[in-house]
Amino acid sequence: MVEFLPPALILIAAAFLIGPTRGVVRDVIVLGAPLLTLWAIWQVPNGVVTTVPFLDYVIEPVEGSELRRWFATIFGIMTFVGGLYAYRQAKWYELAAAFAYAAGAIGVCFAGDLITLFLFWEFMALFSTVIVWSGGTPAARAAGIRYAIMHLLGGIILKVGIEGVVIHTGSIDIQPMLATNFDTWLILIGILINAAAPPVSAWLADAYPEASPTGSVFLSAYTTKTAVIALILLFPGEPILIGVGLYMIMYGIIYALLENDARRILAYSIVNQVGFMVCAVGIGTQMALNGAAAHAFAHIIYKALLFMSAGVVLYRTGKSKCTDLGGLFRTMPITTVCGIIGALSISSFPLTSGFTTKTMISTAATDEGMMLVYFLLTAASAGVFLHAGIKFPWFVFFQKDSGLRPKDAPWNMSAAMIIFSVLCIFMGVYPESFYGYLPYAVDYEAYSAGKVLFYLQLLLFSGLAFFLLLPMMKRTLTISLDFDWFWRVFLYRFGKLVVDAGTEFRDVFMWRWQSVSAVYMDRLRRYFGQWGMDNKRGMFASAWPIGTTALWIAVLLSTYIVVHYL
């Protein structure tokens, strides 16, 4: 029964067409296909609408629900605004890869079974790798290979888990489960790898900042948030996710504080923000899941906005290190203001989208009486303002005068940033406008005078801490080691040690073998070959006269007869 083709197919078709087309036709495809996809997303009704027999299974490529449409919608919006931001500057293959990547994310949203989910999951891994490679530098190539290894590994773990579940339960349906046995653990680990959970969080901050200015905007949106919807669908209320989420939140803050590269600061803060969502999925109540979904939506917008402003700076100046930047507000007013709006939103400042979405997660924690979780989330909110809310705009646009006087963003990049800035504020001012579309009925008052005051205190005093501690946060030309040190350096050195030892062993062995074999070869040649100065033939290699041969045969035969009769 094929009632409805997957909306992702529109973007896949567009990805195919971006390469061969030029000029206005390509522009129409890049800007039109995401809008068409958004329309298609909203035509998907609730429930399984398409089934296809595949091997012995019935797969369900399209299943609709509020949650699925919600995530697909933000992926669609992201593709449109990202396309607008990138279409005049990005290389065609980066754009095509970005559309295929977005198609993978939207495909996962509507996947009704684990097989479809896995196929689109791998689709994302492939094309996001192409985006990292489109950075074009040797560093991008190396980071892309590390990125691909990590995601293919995650894909294999996920696949083994899925096969285990299919064999043991006989069902390929996507339904809530808990990590209680080997199969479900593998599925959870496979998904968490894409969410940049510990100990493999490093792939994100390693790869995203190596992409092009436009590429990292696309990368920031899809992979981790697709992992969030997969967690909501498969592991709502899995308690381990609370701890994992809290770790990610703190990890993101601490590493972002240590970081010098502006885009890497933003990459660490993705891990931090996804940590809030993972934690919310772990809490698992309707309020928490609503919070995770709403926060994912808002997060994609303001994070892309932040990456866009950092991208414009990189595009105009060729620099993204805080030590090289500063004072850009003079000539880049639009980029600065949009960057600040993104920074305020990520910090969940009142009247921005972060406030109306992230506070749902904190409220969910208090509803469940989780005091420690609540206080850690609150401390983390202060930390977000510290590492992303102030640190990013301060070091890029203010700080010292770097002497750089770049032009402001090209018009299409400005337009994309303005659209997202307006959305950030709109979602902050009119939360009722989107609460109705969340997966569960919302009984939540976003604004109360007391709550606003509490957050203003929290955030403004974090700001005070930032400026008072500024001397401690002087930027240095450094990177920070992470768990990936174990595979990038330790395993490499260990492998090299093994290879070197092997080479040594082989050399000694070959030397011995040669001297031993030389002696035997010499003997062999004496009997079976030609040797010496006059090329004398060996005993078994020379031609014998017939008479001698006959004589020897006679001797052998008579010896035989004698022995026989004795």
Partner 1 sequence: MNQQQDDHWLVRPDSIRLLWRIFWAILALTVVLQVVIKVKGYFGVDGWIGFGAAFGFLSCVAMVVFAKGLGYVLKRDDNYYREEDDHG
321 burial level (CB within 10 Å; 0-12, 13-18, 19+): middle
Is 69 or 387 the residue whose CB approaches partner 1 more closely? 387
Structural contact between residues 320 and 263, judged by C-beta atoms closer than 8 angstroms: yes
Please tell me whether residue 426 binds partner 1 under the rule CB under 8 A.
Answer: no
Please tell me whether residue 456 binds partner 1 under the rule CB under 8 A.
Answer: yes
Tokens of 45: 């009704």
Tell me, residue by residue from 347 to 366, as one string, x for binding to partner 1 by CB under 8 A and - for no binding: -------------------x
Please tell me whether residue 149 binds partner 1 under the rule CB under 8 A.
Answer: no
Tokens of 331: 């000539």
CB of 387 to partner 1, least distance (A): 8
Query: If DSSP states are collapsed to H, E and C, what string results for 27-68?
Result: HHHHHHHHHHHHHHHCCCCCEEEEEEEECCEEEEEEEECHHH
Q: Residue from 170, 450, 545, 547 that binds partner 1 (CB under 8 A)?
A: 450
Query: If DSSP states are collapsed to H, E and C, what string results for 98-162?
Result: HHHHHHHHHHHHHCCEHHHHHHHHHHHHHHHHHHHHCCCCHHHHHHHHHHHHHHHHHHHHHHHHH
Longest dimension (CA), the chain: 125
CB of 386 to partner 1, least distance (A): 5
Instruction: Name the one range near partner 1 by CB under 8 A: 84-92, 94-102, 447-455, 528-536.
Output: 447-455
Structural contact between residues 80 and 31, judged by C-beta atoms closer than 8 angstroms: yes
Is 123 or 203 the residue whose CB approaches partner 1 more closely? 203
Could you tell me which of 81, 84, 135, 97 has the C-alpha nearest to residue 314?
A: 135
Instruction: Name the one range near partner 1 by CB under 8 A: 103-111, 290-298, 341-349, 450-458.
Output: 450-458
Could you tell me which of 78, 469, 8, 512 has the C-alpha nearest to residue 302?
A: 78
Instruction: Name the one range near partner 1 by CB under 8 A: 44-52, 377-385, 409-417, 537-545.
Output: 377-385
Instruction: Name the one range near partner 1 by CB under 8 A: 161-169, 281-289, 451-459, 541-549.
Output: 451-459
Contacts with partner 1 in 459-488 (CB under 8 A)? 459-466, 469, 472-473, 476-482, 488
- For 249, half-sphere exposure in the C-beta direction (CA atoms, 13 angstrom radius) is 28
Structural contact between residues 561 and 549, judged by C-beta atoms closer than 8 angstroms: no
Is 477 or 539 the residue whose CB approaches partner 1 more closely? 477
CB of 431 to partner 1, least distance (A): 18
Q: Residue from 236, 383, 428, 439 that binds partner 1 (CB under 8 A)?
A: 383
Q: Residue 454: CB partners within 8 Å, gap ≥ 6? A: none
Please tell me whether residue 492 binds partner 1 under the rule CB under 8 A.
Answer: yes
Please tell me whether residue 489 binds partner 1 under the rule CB under 8 A.
Answer: yes
Give the number of residues in contact with partner 1, rule: CB under 8 A.
56
CB of 444 to partner 1, least distance (A): 14
Q: Residue from 379, 418, 425, 541 that binds partner 1 (CB under 8 A)?
A: 379
Please tell me whether residue 170 binds partner 1 under the rule CB under 8 A.
Answer: no
**Backbone conformation region of residue 63, classed left if phi is above 0, alpha if psi is from -120 to 50, else beta:** beta
260-to-64, 313, 474, 486 alpha-carbon distances in Å: 43, 15, 9, 22
Please tell me whether residue 545 binds partner 1 under the rule CB under 8 A.
Answer: no
Judged by the rule CB under 8 A, the positions of this chain that interact with partner 1 are 139, 142, 253-254, 257-258, 260, 327, 329-330, 366, 371, 374-375, 378-379, 382-383, 386, 398, 401, 403, 405, 448-451, 453-466, 469, 472-473, 476-482, 488-489, 492-493, 496
